[in-house]
Structure 1
Amino acid sequence: MLGIRSQIKVSLGYFLLAALLGVLLRMFVVVPIPVNYRFIVHTHSHIALLGWVYVALTTLLYYLYLHGAGLKSRYGKIFWFTQLCLLGMLLSFPFQGYALFSIIFSSMFLVASYWFTAFFIKNVPQRTKDSLAYRCIRIALLFMVSSSIGPWALGGIMTVLGPESIWYRLAIYFYLHFQYNGWMVMALAGLLFYLLQEVGIVVSDKRSRFFFRCTGLGIVLSFFLSTLWTAPGPVFYIMGGLGALLQLLGFGLLFRVCFKNRQLLKSRLSPTQYSSLKLVSVLLIVKMLLQLLTALPYFASLSTTILDFTIGYLHWTFLGVVSLGLFFFLDYYKMIKLSKTGLRVYFTGFVITELLIFYRGTAAWLGWGLIEGYSDVLAVGSLLIPISLMVILWTSKGQETKSSC
Structure 2
Amino acid sequence: MKPIYIAISLANFFIASCFGLVLRSAFVYPEVNAYFTYSYLLHTHSHLAMLGWLYMLVFILFVQFFAIHTRKEQRFYNRLFWLTQVSVIGMMLTFPLQGYAAPSIAFSTLHILCSYALGYRLWKYNTIGNPQTRRLLKTAIICLFLSTLGAWSLGPIGGILGKTSVYFQLCIQFFLHFQLNGWFLTAFITLFFHYFFSKKTIPYFTSFYGFWVLSMVFTFGLVFAWYLDIPLIFKINTIGVIAQFLAFGILGCSVWNMIQLKQSLSLSTWWLILAFSCLFFRILAQLSTVVESIAVPTQAIRSWIIGFIHLNMLGIMTGFGIWLLIQLEQIKVNGGLKLATICLLGAFASTQFVLLLQGLKIATSASFVFREHTWLFVCSIGFPLGILLLLFTTAMKSKEGKIFAS
- TM-score, normalised to structure 1, is 0.92
Question: Which amino acid letter does the alignment assign opposite residue 138 of structure 1?
Answer: K
Bigger relative contact order, structure 1 or 2, given CA contacts below 8 A and separation 6+? 2
Pairing 1:48-67 to 2, within 5 Å after superposition: 48-66=49-67
Moved more, 153-162 or 28-37: 28-37
Structure 1 residue 367 and structure 2 residue 338: aligned?
no
CA contact (8 A) 2:3 2:403 kept: no
CA contact (8 A) 1:129 1:135 kept: no
The percentage of aligned residue pairs carrying the same residue is 27
Match of 1:308 in 2: 303
Match of 2:324 in 1: 329
CA contact (8 A) 1:4 1:63 kept: no
Question: Which amino acid letter does the alignment assign opposite residue 104 of structure 1?
Answer: A
Match of 2:219 among 219, 222, 225: 222
Match of 2:262 among 244, 266, 289: 266
Match of 1:242 in 2: 239
CA deviation string 1:241-282 (max 9, x = no partner): 1111112211222223442235x2236x97233332233112
Question: Which amino acid letter does the alignment assign opposite residue 158 of structure 1?
Answer: G
CA contact (8 A) 1:333 1:401 kept: no
Query: In the aligned structure 1, how far is the partner of 2:291 from the partner of 2:172?
Result: 22
What secondary structure, in the 3-state scheme, does the structure 1 residue paired with 2:193 have?
helix
CA contact (8 A) 2:157 2:167 kept: yes
Query: In the aligned structure 1, how far is the partner of 2:164 from the partner of 2:24?
Result: 27
Match of 1:15 in 2: 13
Match of 1:76 in 2: 78
Match of 1:211 among 193, 208, 211: 208
Moved more, 189-198 or 229-238: 229-238
Structure 1 residue 124 and structure 2 residue 121: aligned?
no
Pairing 1:362-401 to 2, within 5 Å after superposition: 362-369=360-367, 371=369, 373-399=371-397
After superposition, the Cα gap between the structure-2 partners of 1:258 and 1:342, relative to the gap in structure 1 and judged at 3 Å, is farther
CA shift, 1:370, in A, is 5.4
CA shift, 1:372, in A, is 5.1
- TM-score, normalised to structure 2, is 0.92
CA shift, 1:211, in A, is 1.5
Match of 2:136 in 1: 136
CA deviation string 1:312-336 (max 9, x = no partner): 1111111111111211111111222
CA shift, 1:288, in A, is 1.8
Match of 1:43 in 2: 44
Question: Which amino acid letter does the alignment assign opposite residue 150 of structure 2?
Answer: G
Query: In the aligned structure 1, how far is the partner of 2:185 from the partner of 2:311?
Result: 13
Match of 2:197 in 1: 197
What secondary structure, in the 3-state scheme, does the structure 2 residue paired with 1:159 have?
helix
Pairing 1:106-185 to 2, within 5 Å after superposition: 106-125=108-127, 128-185=128-185
Question: Which amino acid letter does the alignment assign opposite residue 235 of structure 1?
Answer: L
Match of 1:340 in 2: 338
CA deviation string 1:334-384 (max 9, x = no partner): 222363322121111011111111211111111223545432221110110
Moved more, 289-298 or 102-111: 289-298
CA shift, 1:84, in A, is 1.5
Query: In the aligned structure 1, how far is the partner of 2:375 from the partner of 2:68?
Result: 45
After superposition, the Cα gap between the structure-2 partners of 1:337 and 1:259, relative to the gap in structure 1 and judged at 3 Å, is farther
Q: Which runs of 5+ in 1 are unaligned?
A: none
CA contact (8 A) 1:4 1:59 kept: no
CA contact (8 A) 1:30 1:375 kept: yes
CA contact (8 A) 1:334 1:401 kept: no
Moved more, 89-98 or 355-364: 355-364
Q: Which runs of 5+ in 2 are unaligned?
A: none
CA shift, 1:398, in A, is 3.5
